[in-house]
Amino acid sequence: MTQIENIAADDNAKPPSLFWTLTEGRAIFELGWFLSLRPLMNRLPCGDGHPVLVLPGFLASDASTRPLRGVLKDLDYAPYAWGLGRNLKFDDAREAEMLALLDEIYEEHNRKISIIGWSLGGLFAREIAKARPELVRSVITLGSPISPNRNHSNARSLYDRMNGSPDVSQSKRMAQLNVPPPAPTTSIFSKTDGVVAWRGSVQHDHPDHPDTENIEVPASHFGLGVNPLVVYLIADRLAQTEGEWAPFDRDGLKGVVFRAPRPHS
C-alpha cells in the first residue's frame, strides 16, 4: 500500500464498534491471567540493565503500569514510572516535564532509554523520542492512536473537552503523528480494541525510518499492559542488543498468535 493509499484509507477512519467498547471489561480476565502466570514471567529473556520509562494511558496513572514495571525489574531492567500523576493533557509544560525526566534518567545511567507507552502514553513516547533521539534506544507503543486522523479513537471528545481544540501549531504537529521516531519502534495493537481502532495504531513504511514494525495481539485496550502475550512481546523486543534491532520473528506458532496487519484487511 502506497503512502497515498494509506492517506485515502485514513480518511475513512472511525472508532471501534460499540460491541468491542462494551466488552472492555474482559480486561479483568487478562489481569487474572497475568497474576496466574506472573511466576513464569521471570523466565522471559532477561535484559542488560538499561533503563525503561513506562508511560500510562489517557486518564490513567502510574498505578496502571506497576505490574509491567514489576516484571521489567525482575528481568534486570531499570524501570521508571513517569511520576506526573494522571495522564490528562498534553501541552508544552507537560512535554517539558517528560523531556526533563528523560534527561534525568539518562544522566543517572549514561545509557540510552527504551520507552513504553500505553495508549495516549505511546503517542507521547514517540514525540519525546523525536525530541531527544540521542537518548532513546527503542520505543514500544500499546494500542496507541498514532494516526493524524483522530477519529480512530472514541476518547477524542473527552480529550478535547479537557484539552481544548488543537491550535494551528498543534494541528501541524498532529499531522506528523504517523512519522515514527528515529529509533526502532514497535506498535502492538489489537483488532478487538474497544477504545482505539486498530488501523489508527498501524505504522506505515517510512523511507527515513525503516526500523518499524506492527504486531497484532488478541487483547482488550484496558488489558494491554497486563496481557501475558503483550508482556512476552515486550520482553522479546527489549532483550535485543543495542544497535542490533531486528523485526519480531514470527516463525512457527508465533506467526499464528502474533500477526502482522494486512494492507487491505
- What integer pLDDT is reported at residue 160 of this predicted model? 81
Backbone angles phi, psi at 43, to 5 degrees: -95, 0
- What integer pLDDT is reported at residue 219 of this predicted model? 97
- What integer pLDDT is reported at residue 265 of this predicted model? 54
Rounded CA gap, 127 and 41, in Å?
Answer: 30
Residues 6+ positions from 89 with CB-CB distance below 8 Å: 162, 163
The arrangement of secondary structure in 3-239, i.e. its CATH architecture, is: 3-Layer(aba) Sandwich (3.40)
- What integer pLDDT is reported at residue 91 of this predicted model? 83
- What integer pLDDT is reported at residue 13 of this predicted model? 86
Rounded CA gap, 179 and 168, in Å?
Answer: 19
pTM metric for this prediction:
0.93
Residue 46 contacts residue 238 (beta carbons within 8 Å): no
Rounded CA gap, 116 and 82, in Å?
Answer: 11
User: Which residue bears the cell 528515529?
Assistant: 182
| Long-range contacts of residues 28-32, Cβ cutoff 8 Å, at least 24 apart | 29/223, 30/219, 30/220, 30/223, 30/226, 30/227, 30/228, 31/67, 31/223, 31/226
Q: Domain segments of the chain: what residues?
A: 3-239
One-letter identity of residue 165 = S
For residue 54, give the nearest of 30, 82, 83 by alpha carbon. Answer: 82
- What integer pLDDT is reported at residue 10 of this predicted model? 55
The alpha-helical segments, DSSP class H, found in the chain are: 3-10, 18-22, 27-37, 66-74, 92-109, 120-131, 156-163, 168-174, 228-238, 254-257
Q: What tens-digit pLDDT sequence spans the chain (265 residues)? A: 333 334 334 557 899 999 999 999 999 999 999 999 999 999 999 999 999 999 999 999 999 999 999 999 999 999 999 999 999 988 888 999 999 999 999 999 999 999 999 999 999 999 999 999 999 999 999 999 999 888 999 988 888 888 877 776 777 777 888 899 999 999 999 999 999 999 999 998 888 888 999 999 999 999 999 999 999 999 999 999 999 999 999 999 899 999 988 754 5
Rounded CA gap, 259 and 256, in Å?
Answer: 6
- What integer pLDDT is reported at residue 8 of this predicted model? 38
Residues 6+ positions from 166 with CB-CB distance below 8 Å: 174
Rounded CA gap, 81 and 166, in Å?
Answer: 27
Backbone angles phi, psi at 62, to 5 degrees: -65, -20
3-state helix, strand and coil shares in percent for the chain, rounded to the nearest 5: 45, 15, 40
User: Which residue bears the cell 523520542?
Assistant: 129
What residues form DSSP beta bridges with 138?
A: 114
For residue 140, give the nearest of 194, 213, 196, 198 by alpha carbon. Answer: 213
